[in-house]
Amino acid sequence: MTSASVARAEPRWGPGAAGALNDRYSGRALDALADTLTDPAFGATALVSSFGADSAVLLHLAARVRRDTPILFVETGWLFAETLRYAEDLSRHFGLTDVRWLHPDQTTLDTKDLRRLRWSYDPDGCCDIRKVDPLDRALTGFDLWISGRKSHQNRARAQLSLFEPQGTRLKLNPLHDWSSEQLRQYAANHKLPPHPLVAEGYPSIGCSPCTSRVQPGEDPRAGRWRGWDKSECGIHVPSEPGNDPVF
Ligand code: SF4
């Protein structure tokens, strides 16, 4: 057995890794982003993007470090046409060279969502087969992934930290403490192309059946799964037992 295969068989990160990295990178989130994308000590790193309302900021930051960053984009089959066009346009605009469009497994769809109505009676199950499963498969071989979650987005995300453990991997949230005003300012300073649906009243954009307009004063994610006791899709499992699921 080679040393490489031994390294692959063992989780790269021990139980205290996230805490130690949070101490090392305290107040230096963008250094953490640059290092995870360039330092081999972090292993294989991918960035997961929904090409949604705020995605341009993180993609721009990553592209300035490496345009060949692997970008994982889950195309659930239910995304808005505007999001698909935005993903293509933004990838071209930033010169991203490794954007991977992920799709649900067709056999699974045929057995579990043949009529394409699962979102209407079992959104958790729909997210599992259309988001969680494709991403899980794509993350095989990666040691760390980068997420665009922000603490201000809703109460479930209020306690986000820079590094989080997630199973055998680590997750990096470089924008965890950015305010909506900081995001807006960064996007304006760098003239980042906006998602076209933001101007139409969608501050958070997911799949078309599960995304509605948000009224003034509402939580920015209030339009996601409106009417359901659900605010996350399951991609972001709890980092500690007892925490609510978060996305
Ligand atoms: S957001 Fe809605 S349509 Fe999209 S995968 Fe989840 S339940 Fe299905």
pLDDT value at residue 7: 43
pLDDT value at residue 154: 62
Distance separating alpha carbons of residues 88 and 124, to the nearest angstrom: 28
> What is the average per-residue pLDDT within 91-112?
98
pLDDT band at 246 (very low <50, low <70, confident <90, very high): very low
For the chain, what is the mean pLDDT? 89
pLDDT band at 156 (very low <50, low <70, confident <90, very high): low
Mind listing the pLDDT tens digit for each residue in 160-216? 999 999 988 999 999 999 999 999 999 999 999 999 999 999 999 999 999 999 988
Distance 120 CA to ligand 1 centre (A): 9
Decide the pairing of beta strands 169-172 and 99-102.
unpaired
Taking CA atoms only, the protein residue closest to ligand 1 atom 7 is 123
pLDDT band at 40 (very low <50, low <70, confident <90, very high): very high
Kindly state which CATH superfamily the domain 15-210 is placed in. HUPs (3.40.50.620)
pLDDT at 227 over 80: no
- Residue 131: CB atoms within 10 A of its CB come to 23
- Structural domain spans, the chain: 15-210
Distance 96 CA to ligand 1 centre (A): 26
Q: Which region among 11-15, 228-232, 241-245 has the lowest average model confidence (pLDDT)?
A: 241-245
Residue partners of 56: CB distance under 8 A and separation at least 6: 90, 187, 192, 193, 194, 195
Distance 130 CA to ligand 1 centre (A): 7
Residues identified as active-site: 233
Mind listing the pLDDT tens digit for each residue in 60-70? 999 999 999 99
Distance separating alpha carbons of residues 119 and 89, to the nearest angstrom: 28
pLDDT band at 240 (very low <50, low <70, confident <90, very high): very low
Q: Is 149 in the pocket of ligand 1 (CB under 6 A)?
A: no
pLDDT value at residue 224: 87
Total residue count of the chain as it appears in this document: 247
Q: Which atom of ligand 1 is nearest to the CA of 78?
A: 3
Residue partners of 143: CB distance under 8 A and separation at least 6: 12, 13, 42, 43, 44, 45, 169, 170
